[in-house]
Amino acid sequence: MRLANKVALITGAGRGIGRAIAEAYAREGARVAIADLDAATAEEAAAAIRDAGGEALAVAMDVTDEAAVQEGVATTIDRLGGLDVAMANAGIQHIDPLDKLEFANWRKVMSVHLDGAFLLTRAALRHMYASGRGGSMLYMGSVHSKEASPLKAPYVAAKHGLLGLCRAVAKEGAAHGVRSNIICPGFVRTPLVEKQIPEQAKEFGISEDEVIRNIMLRNTVDHEFTTLEDVAELAVHLAAFPTNALTGQSIVVSHGWHMQ
Ligand code: NAD
């Protein structure tokens, strides 16, 4: 049990990568708060963890809403007895070329990723500093924290921004025993990615198979998707790491798509 007696809050954990991480944390002994905009999926994910013998709390939270984030973090601390690990995972994608991109869509993507990560960070740090126990801040970046792709400008900009936030938290948090790291996955087949396949096929005028083969997996070493299990294992490792030796780092889990 690598996370026994720890409390973890994960945003966007009603489905996809966040849910897989919440399940892995619960299997490792953590009490987990599943925060999501979609209250029904958060409740379903929490119930599945409880059915499997774990401890989980569903928290309805729009990460772009300052009051909702503060309240969700406070409820987690109150109901689960603290906060040791906070992961800003909630994210959205928007596919458009830059010259056609509506300002509102740019702002929406930036807001979910960056405002959301900031609001969670501030609420979590206030508790981690005051408790004297420190903690672990984690961010869900992407290979797009390191590289750009066409049609994804707001996502690429936001994911690069998260890298900066992660490093800033590592600098400020160290004195309070807070570590900060960012996970940068390649493509994982979640609803977020399934939606992009037909969108990109249409935009580039190619087949869906070609989107997968020639765009998504083109630069991997073995033409494989990264899996939920791969990302969850790394998230457990980073949450459980015991010292400030591992802080301010970005770890790319992408079948070699990006090598650093
Ligand atoms: P997903 O669409 O399957 O799940 C995202 C979850 O976030 C959903 O449950 C959704 O309700 C929630 N969410 C969206 N907006 C929210 C908001 N404002 N407040 C709270 N919750 C909100 O996506 P996923 O693929 O699991 O992605 C999770 C994270 O991983 C994202 O940050 C994404 O950018 C990142 N990521 C995904 C991939 C991939 O290939 N799937 C690769 C790299 C990084």
CATH number at residue 22: 3.40.50.720
Q: How many domains are there within the chain?
A: 2
Specify the 3-state DSSP secondary structure of 165: helix
* Closest atom of ligand 1 to CA, residue 111: 18
| Pocket perturbation via mutation, ligand 1, pick of 36, 192, 230, 234 by most ligand atoms within 8 A of CB | 192
pLDDT score of 59: 98
State the amino acid at position 137 in one-letter form: M
Cβ of 91 closer than 6 Å to ligand 1, yes or no, is yes
| Whether 138 contacts 183, CB under 8 Å | yes
118 and 231 assigned to the same domain: yes
Q: In this structure, is residue 2 part of a structural domain?
A: no
Instruction: Please indicate, yes or no, if residue 175 is contained in any of the structural domains.
Output: yes
Closest CA to 87 of 158, 26, 168, 18: 18
Eight-state DSSP code of residue 100? G
Task: Say if ligand 1 is within 6 A of residue 64 CB.
Answer: yes
For residue 147, report the phi and psi dihedrals to the nearest 5 degrees.
-135, 160
Residue pair 19/232 in contact (Cβ under 8 Å)? The answer is: no
* pLDDT score, position 119: 99
Please state the rounded mean pLDDT for residues 154-165. Answer: 98
Show the domain range for 128: 7-186+227-253
Each residue's pLDDT tens digit, 199-226: 989 989 999 999 999 999 999 999 999 9
Measured from the CB, is residue 145 less than 6 Å from ligand 1?
no
Indicate if 221 and 240 belong to the same structural domain.
no
Q: Provide the token pair at 33.
A: 């708060």
CA distance 207 to 204: 9
Question: Which of 67, 77, 65 is closest to 9 using CA atoms?
Answer: 77
Taking the C-alpha atoms of residue 30 and residue 3, their distance in angstroms, rounded to an integer, is 5
Is 1 inside any structural domain?
no
Helix, coil or strand: residue 156: helix
Contact 230, 161 (CB under 8 A): no
Residue with tokens 């209250």: 39
Q: Which residues does the annotation mark as catalytic?
A: 155
Same domain, 210 and 234: no
Same domain, 115 and 198: no
| Ligand 1 touching residue 89 (CB < 6 A) | yes
Residue 213: which residues within 8 A CB-CB, separation 6 or more?
223
Question: What is the CB-side half-sphere exposure of residue 224 using CA atoms within 13 A?
Answer: 10
Query: What pLDDT sits at residue 143?
Result: 98
pLDDT of 220: 97
Per-residue pLDDT tens digits for 69-104: 999 999 999 999 999 999 999 999 999 999 999 999
Ligand 1 near 37 CB (within 6 A): yes
Question: How many angstroms is it from 132 CA to the middle of ligand 1?
Answer: 31
74 and 94 both lie in a single domain? yes
260 assigned to some structural domain: no
Q: Whose CA is nearest to atom 3 of ligand 1?
A: 16
Please tell me whether residues 210 and 85 are part of one structural domain.
no
Calculate mean pLDDT across residues 188-198: 92
